[in-house]
Amino acid sequence: MEDVPDTQRGVAQAARTGRAPDDPDPSPGGTPGGTGPAQNGTARNGTGPTPARTAPAPDEPALSLDDAPLNRFHIKITALTFGANFSDGYHLGIIGIALTLVGPQMRLGAAWQGLLGASALIGIFAGSIVLGWAADRYGRQRLYMLDFLLIAVASAAQFFVTGPAELFVLRLLIGFGIGADYALGPTLVAEFCPRRHRGGLLASLTAMWTVGYTAAYFFGNYVIGFGGDSWRWLLASSALPAVFVLVMRVGTPESPRWLISKGRIDEARRVVARHIGPRVDFRELLRHREPAESYDYRELFRAQHRTNTVFGVLYYNCQVIPYFAIYTFLPVIMARVGLGGEDYLVGGLLNVFLLLGGVVGLWFVARFSRRGFVIWSFVVMAVMLAPIGIWPHAPTLLLFTLFLVFTFTMSASSNLDQVYPPELFPTALRSSGVGLLNGLSRIGSAIGTFLLPISLSAYGFSFSIIALAALLVIGTAVSVAWAPETKGLSLH
């Protein structure tokens, strides 16, 4: 991987190509008589004006931002975005474990337990929608710092709560910060990273969600074994990765694509020269510049973007509603089919398959088309889940095998959740679109999680599982009809 180049090299390159830093799109002409500094794309050689060079020297070919070589900065911006995904998985994983002690100590009824379980999801919805829009209007970088400051403070404050209302508010704030980062992080990664590596880097974000959830399961069960107030230490432990990420994010630059969309060409040139390299062809970026007024949220639902918006909302919800509903009530589901829902080893094996699916899914994203992967993953999940609902009294080994394959495929396909959304929208709408899809998916997840125990009680196990499988069938149909192929797409 290349070393991060010095900003002055970018300035020197601009001089060699005849373009001043504040003149991104040169036109013929210059200072009369060849006196004074070069202007309007004219380079001065001491004998009069000469036409600006429109291409780099033969040994220094121009590169588009989408085709720049992968370097340390690309890896760093991706690693810094791991934080939200790890935190989301970790927070979702620890709350269910912590409630086993919080519930009896605070004498929580079913309503409070449900609210505390869903609080972070509600916060994620609000954070994704509000700050996704704000990032398109005011920029990504500043909010990218502030959201993790909020997560760190609210996470640590959980240690001191005295009642369920305080815990509910803090987890709303944590969810708000995580939701904001869901809109901001993948957008920044997509806008900086070369298209050849974009899918793998974005998919690794979702893999970190699985790592966070799995870590919460094993670490949470260990900590909670101490009893007493150990739940306070477990909940507050989420502040440690948040503080680490916050410190490491200091110095993160603004997205050059967003800067260009706002007409701040000189700033964009400096960011790219310092972090990507001096040979990026800005003319290619400027040709696809979006008008500044395109940040209006209504643009997502107008003819040009409506299909991608509707597809993104439906595909995302059809995938995550079964995921969150089943894994929130995993012990109940496992017990209903005689799979030892309370058994630590069974839960551990399922979490291992979640982790394996997330890792192998990285290869799937790199190997297969976006459209093909999303369609066939829905098909496999539906085929695995439906028989569990149709024949819940089948041999235990068969049911467990079906559920392991479902778990593996669900985890692998969820890698698309951070890959597809940023590729569906242009720069001026990208953070808003990503925020909308993430936010609505969490509302869908919260509704599904709330309804599943009601459905199990009122209509029974078979009906509930078949209903979740039906959502996967709907996801298949939606993907066949509307899923675009975005792999290798040049972002504009």
3-class secondary structure per residue, 68-117? CCCEHHHHHHHHHHHHHHHHHHHHHHHHHHHHHHHHHHHCCCHHHHHHHH
Please choose, from the candidates 153, 150, 159, the residue with its C-alpha nearest in 3D space to the C-alpha of residue 223: 159
Residues of the chain with pLDDT under 70: 1-62, 285, 287-296, 339-344, 491-492
Q: What was the pLDDT predicted at 372?
A: 93
**Contact residues for 205 (Cβ-Cβ < 8 A; gap 6+):** 78, 81, 82, 84, 85, 185, 186, 189, 418
Q: What was the pLDDT predicted at 39?
A: 37
Q: What was the pLDDT predicted at 38?
A: 37
Q: Do the beta carbons of residue 93 and residue 215 sit within 8 Å?
A: yes
Q: Do the beta carbons of residue 399 and residue 339 sit within 8 Å?
A: yes
Q: How far apart are CA 253 and CA 82, in angstroms?
A: 17
Q: What was the pLDDT predicted at 104?
A: 86
Q: What was the pLDDT predicted at 295?
A: 55
Q: How far apart are CA 362 and CA 141, in angstroms?
A: 27
Q: How far apart are CA 81 and CA 279, in angstroms?
A: 26
Q: How far apart are CA 180 and CA 330, in angstroms?
A: 28
Please choose, from the candidates 76, 143, 150, the residue with its C-alpha nearest in 3D space to the C-alpha of residue 431: 143
pTM: 0.70
pLDDT one-digit tens code per residue, 11-68: 344 334 434 344 444 333 333 333 333 333 333 333 344 333 334 444 555 677 778 8
User: What residue has token string 């410190």?
Assistant: 247
pLDDT one-digit tens code per residue, 121-132: 888 888 888 888
